[in-house]
Structure 1
Amino acid sequence: MLLTEYQRPAALRRIGRSRLETWLKNRKVRNSRAVATAAVEAAQAQHTVVPSERIAAVMTAKLAKEVMALDQEIAETDALIEDRFGEHKHAEVIASMPGIGTLLGAEFIAHTGGDMTAFTSPDRLAGVAGLAPVPKDSGRISGNLRRPRRYNRRLLRVFYLSAQIAAQHCPTSKAFYARKKAEGKTHKQAVLALARRRLNVLWALIRDNRTFELTPPQSGSAAA
């Protein structure tokens, strides 16, 4: 926002901190006081006139406005995605999983249709998502596992990113992640293990048409 009007040090020195703060507040810029103070202080320390400064200022303003327009377009697209996601019959169930918001939920539906019967089992879904390792045995060596060569990387992204978020904010997932780290797993291995666990949970939730609960029912259903 600041770069759309005040690109040059001289302009910032003229307006001053107080008026710049008001200008930013009127445009709903967060931390307007801190931004105004930092900008004016930097301008007061800069008195060297750079060649072609005026041309550079015009270009900067143009680029800043283009970035703002792109941000607005992205926000509008996200809103459309959220609205469409909310129309799906399993939207509430999927979004109830810690770490899966409307955007990741929409991506999950886009790559699965939200219909788990198409995969016959959670193991099948895990294979499609690259979360079910396959044997990599050779000669006398056995027991080695690797990720399959063909899998849906976007679907893996949904489970991996949501697992990372849940490992920080969901008590059950945080405990599972910590347990895997204590077993000697790397961060990536622990997150993948958590993602696989959470895939089973999401499968069960969609199958039973129920939302996630930190304390699951006593029916033996898995917890995230």
Structure 2
Amino acid sequence: MVNINNFSSDSKLSSYAGLRWDLNDSGKNTNNHKGLSKKGNKYLRYYFYQASSLAIIHDPVLKSYYKMKRAQGKSHKAAVVLSARKLLRSIFFMLKKMSLIFFLNYLNLLRRPSFLKIFHSSNIFTF
């Protein structure tokens, strides 16, 4: 597992995850975008793309962000990748700035009886 403190910014983490586009710098024209970069961790790219695809359906914040990007003329794939970057950015700042608060809230969630009933039969967590 990669330590979050290895990344000084969310854009560097996005590059590591492969959620960025390569630029086609040619002479004076520097605004030509090529396809999605294949550099970076292909598994993180895949999982964040899939997670953002589902989050667009169920999360109102990412849904409105996706619709805004589509209204700006972005393709479906570009809007989903941009939503994945937004999701990754949120996770980055939760882990970087509020890691203790996030961890304590996660522990409180695990201690709820209703949460324990759901996962007790599947043996995902061992207590």
Instruction: Give TM-score scaled by structure 2 length.
Output: 0.70
Deviations 1:66-122 (A, max 9, x none): xxxxxxxxxxxxxxxxxxxxxxxxxxxxxxxxxxxxxxxxxxxxxxx2521122321
Look up the match of 2:74.
185
- Name the SS for the 2:57 alignment partner: helix
Say whether residues 1:135 and 2:34 are aligned partners: no
Is the partner of 1:195 in helix, strand or coil?
helix
Whole-Å Cα distance in 2 between the matches of residues 182 and 143 of structure 1? 20
In the alignment, does 2:23 pair up with 1:118?
no
Residue in structure 2 matching 1:206, options 70, 79, 95: 95
Question: What secondary structure, in the 3-state scheme, does the structure 2 residue paired with 1:177 have?
Answer: helix
SS at structure 2 position matched to 1:136: strand
- Quick one: which amino acid aligns to residue 44 of structure 2? L
Aligned to 1:20: none
Q: Which residue of 2 aligns with 1:174?
A: 63
Q: CA deviation at 1:145?
A: 2.8
TM-score by length of structure 1 reads 0.41
1:156 CA drift (Å) = 0.3
Structure of greater Rg: 1
TM-superposed CA distance for 1:142, in Å, is: 1.7
Query: Tell me, which stretches of 5 or more residues in structure 2 are unaligned?
Result: 103-127
* CA root-mean-square deviation: 1.6
Which structure shows the bigger proportion of residues in strand conformation?
Answer: 2
Write out the 4+ residue segments of structure 1 that deviate beyond 3 Å after TM superposition: 146-149
Counterpart of 2:42, as a letter, is R
Q: Which residue of 2 aligns with 1:159?
A: 48
